[in-house]
Structure 1
Amino acid sequence: MDKNRLFWASRRGMLELDLVLQPFLENVYDGLPQEDKERYWALMDCEDQDMFNWFIHRHQPEDPEIQRIVGIVRANTGMQIDS
């Protein structure tokens, strides 16, 4: 997916998601392997409320591919839970 198009897809209807996704796209996305980039593209098709709940650890995605990219986003944006 074109980076400019992905930038606009990462701008969501919730400020909380913008604060997670925009820095991830700017600082981490380019260094991802192609398979994880494609997972990010799939994440952009998910509902905002679902993404928000995943990022704040309220729920886990059922799809293992989406689980993986959610974990990567969490780990790189300060959304991980410290053990």
Structure 2
Amino acid sequence: MNDDSSAAAAQRKRLYWHSRRGMWELDLLLIPFLEARYDDLEASDQAAFRALLEEEDQDLFAWMMRREWPEDPERRRIVQMIVEHAESTDNDSRRAL
């Protein structure tokens, strides 16, 4: 394994563990988004996701539950992407039933 691969793998593990918030509702949104979409995001959106993980759980919860939106446009964009991803996978699950 080369250094780039091991560095990328280490970063991915860090992101996974930072996505596990201990709040079930957040875990159900952040982890699937990380696993399904993160690698395909533009670098700026990946940076926004990493920065989002630095936020407090109560802020993340309010944003993810659409009680309010982040003021920062980049943060708002990544939150909307996560919410939309969750909605699309939820709709896919319902169609499969």
Same fold per superposition (TM over 0.5): yes
- Identity percentage over the alignment? 48
Residue aligning to 2:13? 4
Residue aligning to 1:77? 86
Supply the distance in 1 between the matched residues of 2:22 and 2:71 (Cα, whole angstroms): 23
Q: Structure 2: 5+ residue runs without aligned partners?
A: 1-7, 89-97
**Post-superposition CA distance 1:32-78 (Å, at most 9, x none):** 01110000001000011111111111011111111010011111111
Cα RMSD of the aligned pairs, angstroms, is: 1.4
Q: As a proportion of its length, which structure holds more helix?
A: 2
Residue aligning to 1:33? 42
TM-score, normalization by structure 2: 0.77
Alignment coverage as a number of residue pairs: 79
Residue aligning to 1:55? 64
TM-score, normalization by structure 1: 0.89
- Following superposition, which runs of at least 4 residues in structure 1 exceed 4 angstroms of deviation? none
Structure having the higher Rg: 2
Q: Which has the higher contact order (CA 8 A, sep 6+)?
A: 1
Secondary structure of 1:77's counterpart equals helix
Supply the distance in 1 between the matched residues of 2:57 and 2:21 (Cα, whole angstroms): 7
